[in-house]
Amino acid sequence: MQRRPFLATLGATAAAFASGARAQEEGGKKLGWALVGLGSLSTHQIAPALAKAKHSRLSAIVTGTPAKAEQWKAKYAIPDSHIYNYETFDKIAENPDVDVIYIVLPNSMHEEFVVRGAKAGKHVFCEKPMANTADECRRMIAAMKQAGKMLGVGYRCQFEPHHRECMRLAREKTFGALKFIEAGFGFQIGDPTQWRLRKNLAGGGALMDVGIYALQACRYIAGEEPVEIAAQETKTDPVKFAEVDETISWSMKFPSGVIASVMTTYGFNGANYFTATCEKGRFGMDPAYSYDGLKGWTSRPEVKIEFPATDHFEVEMDAFSEAILANKPFAPSGEQGLKDLLAIEAIYKSIREGKAVKVEGI
């Protein structure tokens, strides 16, 4: 109910998303999604979301672990012909029941599987961060363009009503011109053996995994791209974080003069927010990036940011399916993913060189 007014203002994706309500009424087609990588995210978030989505359904799986294939086959009634491993993956090209390939692999594998997905002639949806480097992103975008298929990046918050309302408040200057943003996202990471702590697999630490949410929030609240970044890193556990960043804090300038203070960490829980300070008031979210329980707030009691709980994965996948069905552009696209990697590379460069750096190519 509350969605229409602000969705209507949010461009191509929003239009496709809103039109989905009609598609559903008319009994719209459900696109078949193949999940590549059956880790925790696929198991606990994505598969349940596909089971209830309106325009998307689980149609195939790709896994390197035969035992997982058996479990999923039993649970979701997936025919053997729709089960692939990383060697047989390319045969997915011959499967008309797969419209979209969703890459849920460690970051270092994104490029390979997006490119292979493009060559298989499928639309591809890729988890964030899009890749480990901006160059990988560029090659992924080029491959998808050559295949003539759509590429989306899994920035689920962009489809979440509280975040969309905050974008609207910023765009419509409800509290006057935006002046300053603070944002942070972090958590205390557990299992020291996980791929997220391996540089060659994850590309980096907290920044790549969760800092990217705070970075994204700054970008879509500001509605412009950062031009200069000054970053600092701290490491309190040099063993656990031998390969990747533990805590990073950075300051980021936008062309309009807006400045953002942002942080991310794998070292402790609690930071999960953004705050927008405008000429005539403030608004924000805390918690901002969790799968549920999100809370928005504003400095004016009469302006509330309250929406019912949403399954972020369901809405983002349905939005991608609807964009495909309507043949309309999808945001967040690969270009969006690339822009985050350009900023992330600037953050790491600033830390490495101990100086403020320009964000190049953004």
Cα separation, 150 vs 118, whole angstroms: 9
* Tokens 């491959």 found at: 143
Q: CA dihedral in degrees (245, 246, 247, 252; nearest 10)?
A: 20
Answer yes or no: 213 catalytic. yes
Task: Return d(Cα 159, Cα 294) in angstroms, integer.
Answer: 13
When the beta carbons of 45 and 251 are compared against a copy of itself, the nearer one is 251
Q: Is 312 exposed, middle or buried (0-12, 13-18, 19+ CB in 10 A)?
A: buried
Nearer to a copy of itself, 279 or 306 (CB): 279
C-beta of 158: minimal distance to a copy of itself in Å? 24
- What tokens appear for 341 in the block? 């990697």
The residue from 190, 293, 301, 354 that contacts a copy of itself (CB under 8 A) is 354
- List beta partners, residue 151: 124
Q: Are strands 31-36 and 56-62 parallel, antiparallel or unpaired?
A: parallel
69 part of the interface to a copy of itself, by CB under 8 A: no
- Which one from 84, 102, 155, 213 is the annotated catalytic residue? 213
Assess 64 for contact with a copy of itself (CB under 8 A): no
- Contact characters 182-201, a copy of itself, x per CB under 8 A: x-x---x-------------
Q: How far apart are CA 357 and CA 350, in angstroms?
A: 6
Nearer to a copy of itself, 174 or 249 (CB): 249
Q: Which stretch binds a copy of itself (CB under 8 A): 10-18, 126-134, 203-211, 229-237?
A: 229-237
- Comparison of 233 and 316: residue with beta carbon closer to a copy of itself: 233
Please give the residues from 137 up to 156 whose contact with a copy of itself meets the rule CB under 8 A: none
Q: d(Cα 215, Cα 89) in Å, to the nearest integer?
A: 33
- Considering only residues 243 to 302 of the shown chain, the ones binding a copy of itself according to CB under 8 A are 247, 249-253, 256-263, 265, 267-271, 277-279, 281-282, 299
- Closest to a copy of itself by CB, 310 vs 350, is 350
Q: In what helix (H) or strand (E) does residue 275 lie, and over which residues does it extend?
A: strand 272-278
Mind spelling out the 3-state secondary structure of 276-299?
Answer: EEECCEEEEECCCCCCCCCCEEEC
Whether 129 and 107 have beta carbons less than 8 Å apart is answered as yes
What does the binding site for a copy of itself look like in residue numbers (CB under 8 A)?
179-180, 182, 184, 188, 228, 230-232, 234-236, 247, 249-253, 256-263, 265, 267-271, 277-279, 281-282, 299, 350, 353-356
- Which are the catalytic amino acids? 128, 213
